[in-house]
Amino acid sequence: MAVRHFSLVCCWWVVFLPAVFLPATPLSAAEPAAKHALLIGCTDYPRLDDFFQLEGPVNDVALMRQVLIESYGFTAESGRMVTLAASEDAMHQPTRANIQREFESLARRVQAGDEVLILMGGHGSQQPDNDPENPMDAEPDGLDEVFLPCDVGPWDGKAGMIENAIVDDQLRQWLSALVAKQASVCIIMDACHSGSGVRGSDAERSRQVPPGQLVPKALLDSVRESSSEDDASDSLFDGPGDLVAIYAAQPHETTPEKKLPLTADPDARKYYGLLSFTLCDLLSNTNRKLTYNELIQEVQSRYVAMGRRSPTPLIEGSNRDRIVMGKESFPERSRIRLSIQSDDEGTINSGALQGVTKGSIYRITAPLDDAGRSNKDTSGFVQVTEVDMTSATVVPVAYDESPKVSLADVQQRSVCELVFRDLGDRRLGVAVDSFDDSGTAIAESLHQRLTQLASELDSELVEVVTDPQDAQWLIRYNEGEVRLVPGAGIATGDESSVFVSHGVRSDWPELMREDLRRIARATNLLRLTGDNAETDRGGLIGLSIKTFDEENNEIQWQSAGRVLKEGQQIKVRLQHFGRENVDVTLLYVDNAYGITCLYPNPGESNRLRTGDSQSIRLRINAETVGLESLVAIVVKSDGQPVDYSVLEQPSLERASAELSRDVNRGGVGLFETPLGRLCKTSLYGVGASRGVTREAEQNYRVSVMSWKIEP
């Protein structure tokens, strides 16, 4: 458990909305609340350098539009769905004038009770505060945050601002007009303004233009010298009205766009904003109602499962506990259908966005009849060979003692049901970087030497790859040191994420081998939390994890995430609300990738019956620094209590020895269960388990809760 040290580089957009509402026309019984969306994606910046051109925002807009229409009842009719993105139509380019026109048009159309969703994807930046004396617009660092439309220009000295930039003050006015009409508004800002840190791989592009690229350096230096951040407000949104603001990152962090989804074939991936894609993924796959606060916590959990340490999404607003877009009920998901292309190949109407993975196997049953019923008789099985965003290619396969069939004998539009989920290669990808922290190329001879030494790192848990864009971690030479750096980079204040071996010497791989093994084990444990996150267990397994302070107040997710203090005593409470008895293991993953068992203690039963609760008390200390996580492994009870506390052991040999000493800790057969085999492969690199059957998946759940610790 750790303390995380960082300083805020700037204050995010503080949105103060007027307390007095304008008159609004009440809804009649015949007029249900309407849904409106304004989706803005700034991809091309003709007046900025090539380095600052983006690819993702136009894809964010298209994906969000699809999710809103298919899953949330939005419609493109009557001008209620407006998109401003790369377009041949000048009226729909994301210019400042067009953005302002659509905000003002939206304010005229909305009525009380309407749902409004706004997405703004593109670059952010900063400029000197143009109204420093206004107490309602305090900028302690002396800088306004700005969003950059596609026609942004250079610094305009006469106007005292970046040409065409949208300042936070202006956005505040546009939002005020919507909230004043008593509409329920959610704005998503997939941009960042001032974050910094250690560079990651070129697979990710930051959605930020540093202020120095647009504002004269002398002016920025003058503003910074005369300002103080000591008086920075803790609140990033503090206005009345029904508005929720979601930001891609904390003030000291950057937010990326990258090629996603990772489960799709490389050629099928496109650039998306990390926040926009993750939100769309969650919104299109959830089968339960979520509040906005819960949604952002789910986003953070997805990031952790991806092995990311940053960014931490930020949420503000007076009504964060409102149900996302007012959706209270979720009908049964559409069936997966098979379209036959030939005797030995077909496609299904689900892809990476719906959780389909290459290698997964589906059972084929007859098409639905006129009454919507399906004949459950199995016609055969197909396996996924290629995955696109919303579709996948499948081929017949023998499975479960059933022979391979010809699709010529299968009906078009047959129903496909998942029976085996392939979770892919569990090894940690590592590559030698050709550049140092500043982006300067290292000498070719040095790169060759590092590559030669790195080849010794290949193991059952680590794969040395050629392209840094395919790596989760980078081996980087910087100022005489060989370093291990996360491929996603490091936010300011989290420099402890760098693992250092001094000098380029022959024993360098040996120094890093154990670091990589520890990183791989913890990363794969966290990855398990995302592998079965969307499994519907019909209420059989249900575990609530909550944290409380010394006064027994629940520690809630705040703007900066869930934050704990050094020396603080907390209580973690496990509450079982499912219909079946379960065995629970609680593991702690610290920022140095250590794994420690918190529950159960040796010899303690970890079985919880329906309604049971268990509390664990912790004191936060500063042994490690950064983002840390609780991982709960919940297994449906069957026979003797089973716990996975042995996963804290660094090797399979030590874990097996621990098991053999105490049958109540899972016994020697623990690693022979479906989840146990998956853990054995993921954390120890032993065995060939790449996935789990759908039936076995119903019997366990792996979930995560993360927090940051401050001094």
Mean pLDDT value of segment 14-27: 36
Cis peptide before 311 (omega within 30 of 0): yes
Which one, of 641, 683, 647, lies nearest residue 666 by Cα?
A: 641
Beta bridge partners of 490: 198
Neighbouring-strand partners of residue 123: 148
pLDDT at 62 over 60: yes
Q: How confident is the model at residue 7 (pLDDT cuts 50, 70, 90)?
A: very low
- Predicted local distance difference test score (pLDDT) of residue 538: 43
CA dihedral over 504, 505, 511, 512, signed as positive or negative: positive
Contact predicate 56/272, CB 8 Å: yes
Instruction: Express as a percent the part of the chain with pLDDT over 90.
Output: 42
| Cα separation, 185 vs 112, whole angstroms | 11
Q: How far apart are CA 4 and CA 252, in angstroms?
A: 13
User: What does the alpha-carbon distance between residue 94 and residue 523 come to, in Å, rounded to a whole number?
Assistant: 39
Measure the CA angle with vertex 144, ends 143 and 149; round to 5°: 135
Query: With respect to CATH, is domain 336-422 assigned 2.60.40.10?
Result: no
pLDDT (tens digit, 9 = 90+) per residue, 249-296? 888 788 999 999 988 888 889 999 999 999 999 998 887 788 999 999
- Contact between 359 and 426 under an 8 Å Cβ cutoff? The reply is no
Output the pLDDT for position 665: 54
Q: How far apart are CA 561 and CA 314, in angstroms?
A: 7
pLDDT score at 177:
93
Q: 651: which DSSP letter?
A: S
Give residue 209's Cα distance to chain centre.
Answer: 23
pLDDT, mean of residues 316-320: 83
Better-scored residue on pLDDT, 112 or 240 = 112
Is 428-522 the same fold as 35-326? yes
pLDDT in tens, 176-191: 999 999 999 999 999 9
Segment 575-630, tens digit of pLDDT: 888 888 999 999 999 888 999 999 999 889 999 998 898 898 888 876 765 788 99
User: Burial of 27 by CB count in 10 Å (0-12 exposed, 13-18 middle, 19+ buried)?
Assistant: middle
Band of the pLDDT at 29, cuts 50, 70, 90?
very low
Residue type, position 629, single letter = S
**Is 286 in contact with 331 (CB distance < 8 Å)?**
no
User: In 3D, which of 73, 78, 63, 141 has the Cα closest to residue 109?
Assistant: 78
Its sign, for the CA torsion 81, 85, 87, 91, is positive
Q: Which residue is listed with tokens 């039963």?
A: 605
Q: What's the rounded mean pLDDT across residues 401-424?
A: 92
Burial of residue 245 (number of CB atoms within 10 Å: 0-12, 13-18, 19+): buried
CA distances from 544 to 477, 537, 552 (A): 44, 15, 16
Mean pLDDT of the chain: 83
Largest CA distance in the chain: 78
Q: Is the pLDDT of residue 144 over 80?
A: yes
Residue 331 one-letter amino acid: P
- For range 232-246, the mean pLDDT: 62
Query: Which tokens sit at 170?
Result: 């202006």
Residue pair 431/467 in contact (Cβ under 8 Å)? The answer is: yes
- Structure-block tokens of residue 203: 């697979």
Q: What b-and-e string marks burial along 171-192, b requiring 16 or more CB atoms within 10 Å of the CB?
A: bbebbbbbbbbbbbbbbbbbbb
Return d(Cα 253, Cα 626) in angstroms, integer: 14
Alpha helices in 345-439, H assignment, sequence order: none
Q: How far apart are CA 346 and CA 384, in angstroms?
A: 10
Which residue shows structure tokens 């054995």?
680
CA angle (2, 500, 206) in 5-degree steps: 75
Beta bridge partners of 40: 84, 120
**Domain chopping of the chain, boundaries:** 35-326, 336-422, 428-522, 534-710
Q: Which pLDDT score is estimated for 377?
A: 76
Cβ atoms < 10 Å from Cβ of 354 = 20
Which pLDDT score, from 0 to 100, does residue 198 have? Answer: 57
Q: How far is residue 515 from each of residues 520, 592, 593, 644, 674, measured CA to CA in Å?
A: 9, 9, 9, 22, 28
Tokens 């388990």 found at: 689
pLDDT value at position 122?
96
Task: Report the pLDDT value the prediction gives residue 624, as an integer from 0 to 100.
Answer: 62
> How much is the pLDDT for 232?
44
Whether the CB-CB separation of 198 and 498 falls below 8 Å is answered with yes
Sign of the alpha-carbon torsion through 222, 233, 591, 688: negative
> Under CATH, which architecture does the 428-522 domain have?
3-Layer(aba) Sandwich (3.40)
Least confident of 135-139, 256-260, 463-467, 698-702: 135-139
For tokens 């998109």, the residue is: 83
Q: What's the rounded Cα separation, in Å, for the pair 389 and 354? A: 8
CATH placement of domain 35-326: 3.40.50.1460
DSSP assignment of 55-87 equals SHHHHHHHHHHHHHHHHH---SGGG-EEEESS-
Distances (CA, A) of 229 to 13, 328, 565: 15, 42, 21
Query: Residue 626: which region, alpha, beta or left (left: phi > 0; alpha: psi -120 to 50)?
Result: left
Judge whether 643 and 586 are in contact, CB under 8 Å: no
Distance CA 20, CA 483 (A): 56
Q: Check whether 327 has a pLDDT greater than 80.
A: no
